Amino acid sequence: MLDEGHLSDSKGNRVDFTNCLIILTSNIGQQYILDSYKEVRALTAVNEKDKASSNGSSSSSGEEPGKSSFKGTGKSPKDILRRMRQKVLKEVFGYFKPQVIGRMSEIIIFEPLGETAMKGVLNLKLSALRNSLAAKGIDFKVADSALGYILERAWSHKFGGRRMAKYLEKYIKPRVAPLLISGKLKSGDRAVLARSNTNPNQLNLIVCELNEEGVCKPGTKYGTKLVTQEVKPQDGNEDEEDAMD
């Protein structure tokens, strides 16, 4: 397929691949990638803190702000990522045969997802619940604080979106279902998933009955606790099955 641009099945049928774009994905060298970006984030955070505390002294000494960004560390984000790329490519070249590498147009190393992208993935995972409640006449909304709450507990660069899906299945959906069965959450209601204002480790569902203008009717709003859970630190060795227990 990569050489002549076609494949033949067991019956001799020939499939043309000459106009296809072939993309191979792999997790080869992923630990180098995760460790490097973790180091870059930590280095950047320390640097920003140092720059903020030394702003006044730099100005008074005539030193140009930002000129000594990573002074004293012997490292820079650019150097860290350059070394990471070298390590990853060494793993790739050691795994694939030269004949395969030679037929690749380009090798791209993906960056770990940032917070904005992670929230986008989480919103996609929540769309099934949103659509299910909409079919029952319920307006379901997710506050940005709730997205942050779930990401703090469910996101893992190692396991990606799979853990978020498992978190929703384990902690969110099963706790919304009883409200539907009991009639506390019904057609014509609005349900907002939000972090508690008084307890950062608590996730609430705020429910109210809507009027014809789509505004909560006075006296109909109430909140119910869905989850109370502290954030577990990730050390990079978490197991996918028990990381959320």
Type of residue numbered 15: V
CB 152 within 8 A of CB 164: no
Tokens of 207: 């429910």
- The phi and psi torsions of 206 (rounded to 5 degrees) equal -100, 120
pLDDT range class, residue 111, cuts 50, 70, 90: confident
Tokens of 63: 């030193």
Chain segment 112-138, per-residue pLDDT in tens: 777 788 889 899 999 999 999 999 999
3-class SS of residue 168: helix
Percent of the chain, pLDDT > 90?
49
Type of residue numbered 33: I
Q: Among the residues of the chain, which ranges form H helices?
A: 30-53, 55-61, 77-95, 98-101, 115-135, 144-154, 161-167, 173-182
Tokens of 13: 């049928």
Q: Is the pTM of this model over 0.75?
A: no
Chain segment 61-82, per-residue pLDDT in tens: 444 444 444 555 567 888 899 9
**Structural domains present in the chain:** 1-112 (no CATH), 115-228 (1.10.8.60)
What does the alpha-carbon distance between residue 151 and residue 114 come to, in Å, rounded to a whole number? 11
